[in-house]
Each structure stands twice: as C-alpha cells, then as structure tokens.
Structure 1
Amino acid sequence: MSINRIAFYHLETLLWIDRLGTFSAAAERLNTTQPAVSARMRELEQRLGTALFRRDGRTMSLTPAGRKLVRDCAPLLRDMERALLGSGGFAEASGVVRIGAGEIAAASCLPPFVAALKEEMPGVGLEIEIDLTANLIQQLLTGRTDMAFAAGPVAHPALMSRPIGKVALVWLASPAVAAAFGAGDEAPPVPVWSLASHSPIHGRMRDAIDASRIAPRSLNLCNNARMMIDIALADGGVGIFPEPMVRGEVSRGALVELAGMPPPAPVEFHVAMRVADTEPVLVRIFEQAARLRIAPGLEG
C-alpha cells in the first residue's frame, strides 16, 4: 500500500462518485473529465492494493472496501476543509457553487441574497441557472447544481429543505382589458393566461380559474411568467401573476387588479440541498439562504 502517493483529490473524487452515483456526474461537479475521474480511481485502487468498485457491464458500484473508505474518509475531509477555512474565514473560500432557482423565486429574493453572498465570499464563483422546479430538483439530485430555490414542498430522502416564505398570486390585466373583462356578457371573451401545466403553481391557477366565471376555452398557457406579464401589458388578456414580479407595473398603473375574482392560494418556496453535502462553504450558504424570508405581498 502506497499511502504516501494518495492525494487529496483521489479521496475527494471518490466521495463525489459516492454522493452523485456516477463517474460522469462526479467529473462535472469537479470540473474535469470522466476519463480523468476514471484514471484517479484506478490510481487509488492500485495504491491501496484493493478494488473499490464492482463492475457489472455498464454499471458500477462500490465494493465493501470502497464503502468503508468513503465512510471513514468523509469526516476527515470535512474536518480538513473546516480547518483550512478556519485559517482565513469564508472570505478566503474559493471554488464554484451552482445555484438553481425558479423564475418566481429568483425575482422574489435571489438578487439581494447573491449580492450579500459575494460580499462575504468574494472568491467563490457562482453559476446561477433559472429553470422549472421539476428540473431544478432533478439537477440537484444528480449533482448538476448544489442548491435550489424552488416551489415547495420539497420532499425527497436525499434532500433537506427549509421554507423561506410564500408568494401571493394576483389577478391582473391592463386597464383597458380590465374594463372589457368587467363588462361581462356584453363584451367578447377576454383571453386568460396561466403558467403551463408542468409549473408547480399551475394547479393553484387552475383551481382559481375553475372557480371564476371564465370559460375554459379562453384559457391559454405559457411556461414563462415574464412573458405572460408582457402579454398582459400589451392588452393581450388577463392572468394570474406572482405579486413580487408585478409590483412595479401595479404601482404605476400599467396593470390593475381584477375585482371579484377568487383569490388563488399563495405558493410556498423552499431552499434545498443534498443531505450528503457537508462541505463547509455549501453548508454556510444553505444556512444563509434558510434565513431568507420572501415578503408575502398582497396576501400578507
């Protein structure tokens, strides 16, 4: 056994393979290639003199020796990372953290959070991706992102999450369309816009629409809230919108609330990360994110 030839990156790579399940996912997380990850594991097996992986066709799993090494080394590497951070604090932290967020969560709380995070950890690079909640959770589970701000609840045994507040949904239209909508049967049907069915808040919108006087044939779907807002501003119809995203338009009178419509239930948002991620920087960012509180808006 050549312990003196085992490097930190060998063990770090092994832990990421265990956390994410595949060599390719570990390679993406470590900003390297799958052949490089495979080479590191071959070197580690050669220097330990034991097999760490069991290969079965195209699949691969840890051997008992590999599982024991992961269990024994995980706390040692975590303590080493904490010790290194302790010498300079989080101001000296480095690396890249990938954050995923839904469009609504991003508009509600992400900009000030990111600004504060960069002030505390200027050396940490951030990669932010805006996507649907379903995609965000999948990317989190596969290690493509480290943290996600998503519509909740977030329920998965591999993830931990914290609620960060609720976002109100409001019926809005341009003043001209709102007047036509209020005319009822005396005016042509007004187009109605809702987020698409794969959005986690589509159900709330659909319930509110079903409880209203709107004909089902008037309903149109869009997977982008900002596009829906722009359509409403262009007199293209009425819609149910996330209140934080339309405060400016409402305050200047470009959009007005529709009277007499059933109020949609607010949407609760959560921040989530993998349970297995114990890196001090990620834990610190998650703790900071968990303290966020989205203003309830018109529902408050």
Structure 2
Amino acid sequence: MNRIALYHLETLLWIARLGTFAAAAERLNTAQPTISARVRELEAQIGYPLFRREGRRMLLTVRGRQLVSDCEPLWAALERTLAADGLSGARGIVRIGTGEIAAASCLPEFVAAVERDLPGVTLDIGISLTAQLLQDLLGATCDLVLLAGPVASPGVRTASIGAVALEWLGAPATAAAVAQGSQPPVWSLPRHSPLHQLMLAAMEERPSPPPAIRTCNNVRTLIDIVAAGQGVALLPEAMTREALAAGRLARVWPSPKGRIEFQAAIRAEESDPVVLELFRRASLLRMDG
C-alpha cells in the first residue's frame, strides 16, 4: 500500500477549500514550501498529478478533484471521531473577523470564554466593515465573522445574535444649535455599510431637507468627530452610553425606528470541529440593546 500520511490528505483538502497553497499554509500554521513538498510527496505516492498551473494559480486536475471528493467525507468522519470526547484539547489558530460594534459589545465575553474553555485555540481577530468581512469569509481568509446583517448568501451559514438601537447624537452645543434651526452635516460609515443605509432611511422620516452627508470608515472616530461639534451622526447606543452619561454627546433628534441587526457567520461548507464549536458559541451571543 502507498504510504500516505494524514497530513498529506489534510493539506490537499485545505488547498481545495481555500484555493491557494499560501492560504492552506496559513491555515495549517506552516510555510508554503512545506505545503508544496507535501503535495509532491502525495503525487509521488499516488502516481498522478493533483494540480496544474494556470498563470499564477494552481488548479486541481480531474483526478485531483475526484480524490478530494472521495476524501472529504472520510476526513469529516475522522474529525467527528477525534472530537467525540470533547474539544478541551483542541489546538489551532482560528481567524475571526468582526465589526466595531460587535467588537465593543459582545466580543470580549466571547474571547474570555474561549480562552477559558479552549486554551489551546489561538484567536486571530481583525476588525473591518461588513462588506469586507463577508468578502474575507467567502475568500477563506476568515473562519468566523460577526457582522451587521442581514446577510443572504448561498455560501454562508448564519445565526442571528440580536440587534442594537441607534441614536441621533451630536455635541451638546450642536443639539442646541439644531433646536434653533441649524442644519449641521450628518456623518456616517461608507455607503456600502448597513449603518449608512439605516441612516438614509432615518433621514427620510424627517420633514426637513436632507443635510450634507460625510463619511468615515471608523465608528469610534465618528463618535469623536461629532463630540467635537462637527456634525450629527446616527450611532449605536451600545457604543455611546458613557459619552452620553458624561455629557460629551447629546440626543439631537428622536431615535429612528430601525435597529441594526447582527449575525455570526461561517462558510456553508465549513467542517472543522473547532470552527463549528466557535460558531455554536457565537450564535448564543446577544447584542440586544
């Protein structure tokens, strides 16, 4: 029998899932030359090529695709068997993407629980906007994301984690000027963000002419801008409670009807037990407020 090690098959399946040798190397916490060497070893054992080069891309051959198809259910069964006694000994790096609002609201308790219960799992966390988070998830550069929704994609599995109330806020002086008829500019996240769309919908509820709209891709910077008296913003209540209580911010207009929804998401074909466990835990988070 040909001497094929489990790490050969694991490497092949991760290349097939993630699309590149580099992404598989990152996921398996090794170097790209190691991934290439494993593929050469596997090809030598089975006697036929698994990949063909097209430009800078390495694509599975017909027989390579068949091997992946045959091995996927076997590998999934092996992962389930190894996880049957629990994940307390699980090890690895899980890449998590999150928006600022989720990061400020429920991510700290999630991280604390994972550190406590799964000490061998290392979390690699990045913060970005919803459109980029979805792109990172579908492109397999993130394993799990917490993002503003709703998200509808056939390649994504989601779980609702609640919604956050929004407030029209500005500096106290700005609120006083608005009460006298002033029309300050409105600040928001960029146009492709769910918060921007909710801001536009909320502006339609107001009888006055629409003000100038300016954008910034960072919620905390938006808070600082309007607190400095430079305009008004529709901001998450969860991130502005302290500033309101301290008098740095004040309510400018009545709260809108809409709330911003949030979801935890993984790729629909995800089978890694550790990622699935973290998704299960993330689906229990609640951002209602």
**TM-score for both structures, normalised by structure 2:** 0.91
Q: Does residue 290 of structure 1 match 2:287?
A: no
Q: Could you say if the C-alpha distance between residues 246 and 262 of structure 1 is closer, same or farther in structure 2, counting changes exceeding 3 Å?
A: closer
> Cα deviation per residue 1:196-251 (whole Å; 9 max; x = unaligned)?
21323211112223443565453322111111111222233221101111122223
Unaligned ranges ≥5, structure 2: none
Which residue is equivalent to 2:124?
Answer: 127
The worse-fitting range, judged by mean Cα deviation, of 68-77 and 277-286 is 68-77
Q: Is the CA contact (8 Å cut-off) linking 1:204 and 1:264 kept in structure 2?
A: no
Which residue is equivalent to 2:101?
Answer: 104
Which residue is equivalent to 2:76?
Answer: 78
- Structure 2 distance, partners of 1:229, 1:262, is 16
Q: Is the CA contact (8 Å cut-off) linking 1:161 and 1:271 kept in structure 2?
A: yes
1:81 Cα deviation (Å)? Answer: 3.0
> Cα deviation per residue 1:259-281 (whole Å; 9 max; x = unaligned)?
4x461521111111112221111
Q: Percent identity?
A: 52
Q: Is the CA contact (8 Å cut-off) linking 1:271 and 1:290 kept in structure 2?
A: yes
Unaligned ranges ≥5, structure 1: none
1:157 Cα deviation (Å)? Answer: 2.1
Aligned partner of 1:268 among 250, 261, 265: 261
Q: Is the CA contact (8 Å cut-off) linking 1:199 and 1:223 kept in structure 2?
A: no
Aligned partner of 2:44 among 27, 41, 46: 46
Aligned partner of 2:224 among 222, 230, 241: 230
> Cα deviation per residue 1:40-91 (whole Å; 9 max; x = unaligned)?
111101111122224444443323322232222223323333333445x322
- Structure 1 distance, partners of 2:177, 2:164, is 28
The aligned runs of 1:111-122 (5 Å cut-off) are: 111-122=108-119
Aligned partner of 1:193 among 187, 196, 199: 187
Secondary structure, aligned partner of 2:229: coil
The aligned runs of 1:183-222 (5 Å cut-off) are: 183-184=180-181, 187=182, 189-212=183-206, 215-216=209-210, 218-222=212-216
Q: Could you say if the C-alpha distance between residues 214 and 107 of structure 1 is closer, same or farther in structure 2, counting changes exceeding 3 Å?
A: farther
Q: Could you say if the C-alpha distance between residues 194 and 59 of structure 1 is closer, same or farther in structure 2, counting changes exceeding 3 Å?
A: closer
Q: Could you say if the C-alpha distance between residues 47 and 231 of structure 1 is closer, same or farther in structure 2, counting changes exceeding 3 Å?
A: same
Q: Is the CA contact (8 Å cut-off) linking 1:207 and 1:264 kept in structure 2?
A: no
Q: Is the CA contact (8 Å cut-off) linking 2:186 and 2:211 kept in structure 1?
A: no
- Structure 2 distance, partners of 1:24, 1:141, is 16
Which residue is equivalent to 1:21?
Answer: 19
**TM-score for both structures, normalised by structure 1:** 0.88
Number of aligned positions between the proteins: 289
Secondary structure, aligned partner of 1:119: helix
